[in-house]
Structure formats: structure tokens, C-alpha cells
Amino acid sequence: MTKKEQQIDINLQIIAIETLNFSLLPCEESLMPLNTFHFNINLQQKYILEKELIFVIPQVDIMHENNETKLGTIKINCIFNVKELSKFCDKKTKKVSLPPQIVNTLNSITISTCRGVMASHFKGTILHNAILPLMDPNSFSLEKSKKINASK
């Protein structure tokens, strides 16, 4: 552990996973076969301090290899209970500011969960092989969105 890093003791628990939106769009025959997919990923975080809840909401748009044709989309909500969430809240601005280690953990769990939900929803469809690749959750800390490519 470096000087910049410090141990943070936090009690967090995932309490729910919800599919908020799921769509599979028609694909023209001329775009087949589907060998490469592009993913546009956007992560949002919302908080309910009084209930000690954090909502991490990823939306993934699955794009054709031409990167112009959207083939499908999925948006889920991972709800976490974080004990003593208020200690990360600025009392004046009411803004929650979680340490990067916690943000990375939440993002990592959420992206992995989204990968599994995608596999379940897209099974047996043209997006059956549109598997969200492994990625570094640190890359979402500042940007909050990312574009990635994947081949089957």
C-alpha cells in the first residue's frame, strides 16, 4: 500500500439487481455475419443518503462493427447498501464523494453483473456472442463512459 492509498473499512452489500431497459433491434441481412461488436458503456451513480443506498446504473449499447448501427441496448441497476454512507457526504453541498477504491469496487461489481445479465438476455439471439469484454473499472472513475471493441 502506497502513501496515497489508505485502508478504508466499509460495509457494503449488493441488495438488488434490476433490468431497467432491454432491447434487441432488427439487423439487416447485409450486416451479417456478426463477428465484431463495439460497446458504448455509460455508468451513472445515484444516492439515497437516508437509506444508505447507492444505485450504479450502467447502460450498454451494442453496436455493429461499422460502429454506426445499434443492434441492442441494455440498462440495469445494481443497488448497494453502504453502511455509514453519510460520512462520505459533504454536509454543506450534500454531495457524496466516495474514495476511488470504493468507486472502483462498485464499478467492477456492476460491470461484471451487467455482463452476466447481458448473457442471459441475449442468449439465443443475434447478440448471443456480444460478450462484454473484461475492462479496468478505473477507466470509469473520471470519464463515466467508455467505448470498447470486441471480436468473437
pLDDT score recorded for residue 120: 96
pLDDT on residue 31? 75
Domains of the chain plus CATH, in order, are 12-151 (3.10.420.10)
State how beta strands 53-64 and 145-151 pair. Answer: unpaired
99 prior amide bond cis, ω within 30: no
Contact 52, 82 (CB under 8 A): yes
pLDDT of residue 4: 56
Tally of CB atoms within 10 A around 45: 17
Could you give the CA distance from residue 146 to residue 42 in angstroms, rounded to a whole number?
A: 7
Looking at residue 150, its pLDDT comes to 55
Handedness of CA 65, 67, 70, 72 (dihedral sign): positive
Q: CA-CA distance, 19 to 127, in Å (whole number)?
A: 17
Consecutive sets of 10 residues in the chain, 152 residues long: mean pLDDT of each? 62 96 87 86 93 96 92 97 91 88 93 97 92 83 50 50
Whole-number pLDDT of residue 143? 42
Instruction: Please choose, from the candidates 132, 143, 31, the residue with its C-alpha nearest in 3D space to the C-alpha of residue 73.
Output: 132
Query: What is this structure's pTM?
Result: 0.84
Look-up of cell digits 454512507: 85
